[in-house]
Chains A and B, each alone.
Chain A
Amino acid sequence: MENKTNLLIRSKTVDSDSRRRFLRYAGFSAATATTILAACENAAMEPSTLGEGTGARVAADGSIDLGSGDVGILNYAYALEQLEYAFYAQVIATPFAGMSNMERMILTDIRDHEKAHRDFFRAALGAAAIPALSANFGAINFNDRASVLSTARTFEDLGVSAYNGAGKLLSSPLNLSTAGKIVSVEARHAAIIRELLAPFTTSFAGDDVVTSDTGLDVVNMPGTVLAAAQPFVVQTITANNLPTM
């Protein structure tokens, strides 16, 4: 298993689109296929930097398992970042009615941040990464400011809660450090989106997310987060092998 993991991680340089096409034709599980592909590829990132765990697996029914150990948690983060980026890309592509210049600037910034997060995870995970997810935003009215911003608030608070909960599931300090660099940016997003929805109130760090008597922010474990995210993703995501407490 150790060798297999290493191979998976070393195949980082495989172009993800060609890998997906290959997978589709070959009908292999991601792990099997990428191991084969990996044999032909040069090492791109030392496996030890990713931490323990095995990569994503695509089941015969198309459902995507995030993998195990730290790698699984990084895939969990990668899934959420994919979802966030897809959302903001759509927000900017089809701006809601009456979007102000300031709102456009803020939402464009956030889109770019989420793209940086998404592409970072894809690069770091290499062949251990889950495939590209397809978004299902049918429930969102992208022409309506309230619909867009309240969805943004949901995604950002969900992201904060996810990283806050995932910290204790990571075994590598490097991964913990990476999660820390990203979660505070998600928290900044959450505060600013909340400010757009409820200016000059306490909402940026409201009592609905920051527990009033402890001053602690929202926290959720992967099961809760994925259940909230799943309606926005076409593929079924499973977390059967993620670490638990």
Chain B
Amino acid sequence: MNLQNLFNALENVDPEIYDRVKHVSRRQLFSFGKKAALVAAPLAVASSINKAYGQSMPDRTVEVLKFALVLEYLEDEFYRLGLNTPGLIPAQDRPIFAQISKHEASHVALLRTALGAAADPKPNFDFTAKGAFPTVFSNYQTFTALAQAFEDTGVRAYKGQVANIGQDPVLETALRIHSVEARHAARVRVLRGMKGWISGMEGFPGAVYAGEQATREREVDVPGISGVSAMGVTEAFDEPLTKDQVLAIALQFVR
């Protein structure tokens, strides 16, 4: 292993690498005698990188977090652009979007920290989706419609990954982001005159709500056993989306 090359590579990815491995300073690493360095330094480096970057994180978890980061980047940039567009968001609604924006920015920072060097840079977004939504930042209805779509997609995306992560240290964090996205979704939906919960497959774009009409859960016919209307049962259970389903939605907004 060529340590200098490894460090150069890491430094290119993340200039803060030395801050995170500060308990093994660069000077220390390379001031060992040649023989000692061969043995001790790789161990020290591996150990400190594991701590700093969580390289013991399973590949599957890394993939889930990278996927989540794409969605959080998307939401974060969307709200920041919206809040920075004069005249788009009415004064009465600004506290709502400012609060949502604050959370999305925190989620980006949290996921980037968790991923460390594995974090991808922010993609370049096109919120018109190649012209499909040309008024996204000039028409408030378009903006809030996409906000709802992004939030409900976010809820369904995290939900789809929760079972994949399973018993992993990041599970609780994923769940805690997931329910925040649901709070956001509910608030934006009501702002648009809709119910806070998803009725059947009602919503736009359709891909965001595919499969939400389910009324059987774990082979239990819930309307049948509860007497609650089928519509009520679809509202009572939010359904997951797969990673591929979510990417098919999200990638429309990536240049």
Contact = CB atoms under 8 A, between A and B. Distances in A.
Q: Do A and B bind each other?
A: yes
Given A116-B228, A215-B103, A204 B186 contact: yes
Contacts of A163: 175, 179
A219 to B, nearest CB: 6
Nearest to A178: B218
A202 B190 CA distance: 14
Interface stretch (B63-71, B128-136, B231-239): B231-239
Interface stretch (B29-37, B41-49, B104-112, B200-208): B104-112
Given A185-B235, A188-B183, A204-B186, A180 B220 contact: no
Interface stretch (A92-100, A146-154, A189-197): A189-197
A117 B236 contact: yes
Given A215-B102, A215-B103, A187 B182 contact: yes
A41 interface: no
B250 interface: no
Given A116-B233, A180-B163, A168 B172 contact: yes
Given A183-B175, A200-B96, A116 B167 contact: no
Given A176-B166, A210-B180, A185 B237 contact: yes
Interface size class of B (residues with CB under 8 A): 35 or more
Nearest to A196: B190
A165 interface: yes
Interface stretch (A119-127, A128-136, A226-234): A119-127
A115 B172 contact: no
Interface string B210-235: 00000001111011011111001101
Contacts of B226: 115-116, 118-120
B80 to A, nearest CB: 14
Given A181-B159, A188-B197, A210-B183, A215 B232 contact: no
Interface string B80-108: 00000000000011011011101111110
B106 A184 contact: no
B155 interface: yes
A163 B158 CA distance: 14
A219 B232 CA distance: 27
Nearest to A166: B175
A27 interface: no
Given A119-B226, A215-B103, A185 B238 contact: yes
Interface string A206-245: 1000101111111100000000000000000000000000
B62 interface: no
A177 B182 contact: no
B187 A204 contact: yes
B187 A205 contact: yes
Nearest to A186: B179
B232 A167 contact: no
A167 B234 CA distance: 22
Given A171-B167, A215-B177, A189 B228 contact: no
Contact of B186 (A171, A173, A188): A188
Nearest to B165: A176
Given A119-B225, A180-B163, A216-B177, 17 more contacts: A113-B235, A120-B225, A163-B179, A173-B163, A173-B164, A174-B163, A177-B163, A178-B217, A181-B238, A187-B183, A188-B185, A200-B92, A205-B100, A205-B103, A215-B103, A215-B104, A215-B180
- Give the 5 A-B residue pairs with the shortest CB-CB distance, closest first: A215-B106, A187-B182, A119-B226, A215-B103, A184-B182
29 contacts: A109-B232, A112-B232, A112-B236, A115-B227, A116-B236, A117-B236, A119-B228, A160-B179, A163-B179, A164-B172, A167-B171, A173-B163, A181-B240, A187-B182, A188-B182, A188-B197, A189-B196, A189-B197, A191-B183, A191-B196, A192-B190, A205-B100, A205-B180, A205-B183, A212-B102, A212-B106, A217-B176, A217-B183, A219-B175
Interface of A: 45, 49, 106, 109, 112-120, 122-124, 160, 163-165, 167-168, 171, 173-174, 176-178, 180-192, 195, 200-202, 204-206, 210, 212-219
